[in-house]
Chains A and B, each alone.
Chain A
């Protein structure tokens, strides 16, 4: 069973991974975006980790809802409302249960990813974070070792964005020239799913 502390540790691990890879994310974003993805997410997850270290909410749902709200208010780029919506919708779907099963988390994350797709209007194949999140959530719901499988699926999904042509966001203005670069949002999604696997492995 996964309790509030598990989710708190997940988000703090996200902050650490984003911190470690901020320069790489910004580098990816400078190729096809506006070169702020790493620093934007760093600001957002630093705020999330600080809030959760100070006063962690009592349930998994409340931890995720608070984190989502903070990302929307602190990131300053499109990834703020997108990741904020992912966490908030996942948190709201979990309700006020004190503990949740991995299967229940998979189900709630599915609702979160659907909300992200609705907000941004993107579909898999558009070279966005969905290309990492969709396969990750799929793997989380079905596999034997769900968290490790989700990490692997997210990383594979992120790499699969390299040959894609961007159809959403600023990168879409580049048309053909967006081909050959990994999508920064898919890369950061793989980090977030990777943090989940890291914390689940203990």
Chain B
């Protein structure tokens, strides 16, 4: 990573992982933290499923997670599909539900989460974290 992609002052970029399933969100968070290596891992919070434990998307859990990981350096939100995408988009359109500097990232969920957490943990700023996650689309497997 280049020097100008690092955060000069303030905390690390926070990451929120939104899935229809609480288990998927929590497991991907665990995986991404585990692959981030040593040192201070960037704050990652899963926001999966509905508040009553069902499959779905909860704007309340998303907003709570975003505020929990917000250290002033911005928040990158990764989502799985459907209502997760639409809910985050509509929360961003609302203007006051999510911390300032919150961005929806267009990235594959698992690979993007790993790239985002590794980059944020290394001190990358919000642009660098978003770019790293989005680059995950370019990673071909065969």
A119, B89: Cα distance in complex, Å: 7
* B90–A78 CB distance below 8 A: no
Least Cβ–Cβ distance between B79 and chain A, in angstroms = 12
* A76–B57 CB distance below 8 A: yes
Give the total of B residues in contact with A, Cβ under 8 Å.
17
- Find chain A residues with CB under 8 A from B94 CB: 69, 72, 88
Least Cβ–Cβ distance between B80 and chain A, in angstroms = 12
A84 within 8 A of B: yes
- Find chain B residues with CB under 8 A from A169 CB: 82
Give the total of A residues in contact with B, Cβ under 8 Å.
20
Binary contact track B24-60/A, C-beta < 8 Å → 1, others 0: 0000000000000000000000000010001111111
* A119–B82 CB distance below 8 A: no
Contact of A120 among B54, B57, B86 (CB under 8 A): B86
B87 within 8 A of A: yes
A84, B83: Cα distance in complex, Å: 12
* A80–B83 CB distance below 8 A: yes
Contact of A170 among B82, B86, B87, B91 (CB under 8 A): B82
* B83–A78 CB distance below 8 A: yes
A72, B62: Cα distance in complex, Å: 12
B93 within 8 A of A: yes
A36, B82: Cα distance in complex, Å: 14
Contact of B58 among A76, A84, A119 (CB under 8 A): A76
Contact of B86 among A40, A73, A82, A88 (CB under 8 A): A82
* B86–A78 CB distance below 8 A: yes
* B87–A80 CB distance below 8 A: yes
**With contacts A36-B56, A69-B94, A85-B93 known, is A76 near B86, CB below 8 A?**
no
- Find chain B residues with CB under 8 A from A77 CB: 56-57, 82-83
* A72–B50 CB distance below 8 A: no
Contact of A76 among B56, B89, B90, B93 (CB under 8 A): B56
Contact of A72 among B54, B55, B82, B87 (CB under 8 A): B87
- Find chain B residues with CB under 8 A from A119 CB: 86, 89-90, 93
A40, A81, A169 pick with most chain B CB within 10 angstroms: A81
**With contacts A77-B83, A78-B82, A170-B82 known, is A72 near B58, CB below 8 A?**
no
**With contacts A76-B50, A170-B82 known, is A81 near B90, CB below 8 A?**
yes
B58, B91, B94 pick with most chain A CB within 10 angstroms: B94
**With contacts A72-B91, A119-B89 known, is A81 near B60, CB below 8 A?**
no
- Find chain A residues with CB under 8 A from B59 CB: 72-73, 80
A120, B86: Cα distance in complex, Å: 7
- Find chain A residues with CB under 8 A from B89 CB: 81, 119
A residues in contact (CB < 8 Å) with B: 34, 36, 40, 69, 72-73, 76-82, 84-85, 88, 119-120, 169-170
A sample of 17 inter-chain contacts (CB < 8 A) reads A34-B55, A40-B56, A69-B94, A72-B59, A76-B50, A76-B54, A76-B58, A77-B83, A78-B83, A78-B86, A80-B59, A81-B87, A81-B89, A81-B90, A85-B93, A119-B86, A120-B86
